[in-house]
A and B are shown apart, each in its own frame.
Chain A
Amino acid sequence: MNKLLSPAKTEVLFMGNEAIARGALEAGVSVATGYPGTPSSEVIEKLAEVAQEKNLYVEWSTNEKVALEVAAAASFAGLRSMCVMKQNGVNVASDFLLHLASSGTRGGIVLVTCEDPGALSSVNEGESRYFARMLEIPLLEPASLQEAKDLTKWAFELSEKIRNIIVLRSVTRMSHASGNVICGKLPEKYRTARFVCDGSFMDPLRGPVVSTPVVVKHNLQQKKLQKTREFFEKSPFNSYSGPKHPELLIITSSACFLYSKEAITMLGLQKRVGILKLSCTWPLPPKLLKKYLRLTDKIMIVEEVLPFLEENIKVAAMGMLKETGIKTFYGKMDKTLPSVGELNPDLVAAALGKIMKVKYKSLPAGYTKEIQKVTPLIPPREQTFCPGCPHRASFWNINTALKLDGREGIVCGDIGCYAMAALFPAIGFNTVRTLHSMGSGTGLASGFAKLAAFGLDKPVLALCGDSTFYHAVIPALINAQHNRADITFIVLDNAGTAMTGFQPHPGLAISTMGEAVPAVDISKICEAIGAKVAVSDPFDLEGTSKILTSFMAERGSLKVLIMRQICALSPEKKGKKKYLMQVKEELCLGENCGCNRLCTRIFRCPALTWDRTKKKALIDEVICAGCGVCYSICPQKAIIRTEAAG
Chain B
Amino acid sequence: MKMSLVKNPTNIIITGVGGQGNVMASRVLAGMLVNAGFIVTIGETFGMSQRGGSVMSHVRVSSTSILSPQIPQGRADIIIALEPVEALRVLVKYGNPDVAVLANSRMVYPMGVITGEFTYPSLDEVKSMFAKLSAKSWLIDATSVAVDLGNPVLSNIVMIGALADASLLPINRRAFEKEITKSMSADKRQINLTAFDAGAKML
Chain A residues in contact with chain B, CB under 8 A?
Answer: 3, 11-13, 38-39, 120-121, 144-146, 172-174, 176-180, 255, 258-259, 261-262, 266, 344-346, 349, 362-364, 367, 370-371, 374-375, 377-386, 417, 419-420, 425-426, 428, 499-500, 569, 575, 597, 600-601, 604, 606, 608-610, 620, 622-623
Contacts and interface: CB of A to CB of B under 8 A. Distances in A.
Contacts of A38: 46-48
Given A13-B34, A344-B70, A428-B115, A39 B47 contact: yes
Interface in B18-52: 18-19, 27, 30-31, 34, 39-49, 51-52
B8 interface: no
B39 A179 contact: yes
B56 to A, nearest CB: 11
A454 to B, nearest CB: 36
Interface stretch (B104-112, B157-165, B166-174, B190-198): B104-112
A172 B70 CA distance: 11
Contact of B129 (A176, A377, A385, A500): A377
Given A176-B44, A371-B133, A380-B110, 18 more contacts: A12-B34, A13-B34, A120-B45, A146-B66, A179-B40, A179-B41, A258-B67, A262-B72, A379-B118, A379-B120, A381-B111, A382-B52, A597-B116, A600-B114, A600-B115, A601-B115, A620-B109, A622-B106
Nearest to B42: A178
Contacts of A144: 66
B68 A345 contact: yes
Contacts of A385: 51-52
Contacts of B72: 262, 266, 344-346, 349
Contacts of B86: 381
A346 B132 CA distance: 24
A156 B51 CA distance: 36
A121 B45 CA distance: 8
Nearest to A361: B74
Contacts of B121: 377-378
A378 B51 contact: no
Contacts of A180: 34, 39-40, 66
Interface in B142-186: 143, 147, 151-152, 182-183
A375 B121 CA distance: 12
A599 B115 CA distance: 9
A177 B92 contact: no
A633 to B, nearest CB: 15
A374 B69 contact: no
Contacts of A349: 72
B47 A500 contact: yes
B140 to A, nearest CB: 16
B89 interface: yes
Contacts of B39: 179-180
B4 interface: no
Given A178-B41, A180-B34, A344-B70, A382 B46 contact: no
A345 B94 CA distance: 13
Given A172-B45, A609-B109, A258 B68 contact: yes
Given A180-B40, A600-B114, A255 B69 contact: yes
Q: Closest 7 A-B residue pairs measured CB to CB?
A: A38-B47, A121-B47, A384-B52, A177-B69, A379-B118, A258-B68, A381-B110
Contact of A606 (B49, B52, B85, B152): B52
Interface string B3-24: 0000000000000011100000
16 contacts: A13-B34, A121-B49, A173-B43, A173-B70, A176-B45, A180-B34, A259-B68, A345-B72, A370-B133, A375-B92, A379-B113, A381-B17, A386-B18, A428-B115, A600-B115, A606-B111
Contacts of A172: 45
A362 B112 CA distance: 33
A499 B48 contact: yes
B95 interface: yes
Given A120-B45, A345-B68, A378-B85, A364 B97 contact: yes
B69 A378 contact: no
Given A39-B47, A499-B47, A606-B114, A377 B70 contact: no
A602 to B, nearest CB: 9
Contacts of B97: 363-364, 367
B89 A378 contact: yes
Contacts of B48: 38, 121, 383, 417, 419-420, 499
A174 B73 CA distance: 20
Contact of B114 (A13, A145, A383, A609): A609
B124 interface: no
B110 A382 contact: yes
Contact of B66 (A11, A179, A575): A179
Interface string B120-143: 110001000100110000000001
A381 B40 contact: no
A352 B34 CA distance: 32
B70 A345 contact: yes
A178 B40 contact: yes
B30 A13 contact: yes
Which of B51, B68, B151 counts the most chain A CB atoms within 10 A? B68
Contacts of B85: 378-379, 381
B70 A13 contact: no
A620 B112 CA distance: 16
B132 A370 contact: yes
